[in-house]
């Protein structure tokens, strides 16, 4: 009677152990899947931040070009007003290259 009780308890413990091992294996698989997803998301975030930085640099470059164009126009106006070109044959022509 004691032997059969111990044997049935051992069988139950073996079943519990198998279930726990199966649960553990499933948890490891889930953990690995989450790690893969995390790595993919890190790469996407890095790519998005690089895109954002590139766009910001592009915008700054456009602003600088506009500012340069305004400065050149202002400088041209200043030079024309304060240092006019000498007139030849009554006509003063000037080439503006911007």
Say if residue 88's pLDDT is above 80.
no
Distance in Å from the first CA to the final CA of the chain? 105
**Single pTM value for the model:** 0.47
65 versus 86: the higher-pLDDT residue is: 65
Distance (Å, rounded) from C-alpha 95 to C-alpha 80? 12
* 81 closest CA partner among 73, 89, 69: 73
pLDDT value of residue 61: 96
Which burial class, exposed, middle or buried, applies to 66 when counting CB atoms under 10 A from its CB (0-12, 13-18, 19+)? Answer: exposed
Distance (Å, rounded) from C-alpha 78 to C-alpha 84? 9
Type and span of the H or E element at 24? helix 2-82
Sequence-separated (6 or more) residues with CB below 8 Å from residue 96: 76
Find the mean pLDDT for residues 39-51.
82
Say if residue 93's pLDDT is above 60.
no
């Amino acid at each position: 009677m004691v032997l059969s009780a111990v044997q049935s308890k051992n069988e139950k413990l073996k079943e519990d152990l198998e279930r726990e091992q199966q649960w553990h294996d499933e948890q490891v698989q889930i953990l690995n899947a989450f790690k893969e997803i995390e790595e993919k998301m890190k790469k996407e975030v890095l790519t998005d931040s690089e895109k954002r930085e590139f766009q910001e640099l592009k915008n700054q470059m456009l602003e600088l070009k506009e500012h340069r164009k305004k400065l050149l126009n202002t400088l041209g106006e200043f030079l024309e007003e304060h240092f006019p070109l000498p007139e030849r044959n009554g006509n003063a022509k000037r080439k503006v290259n911007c």
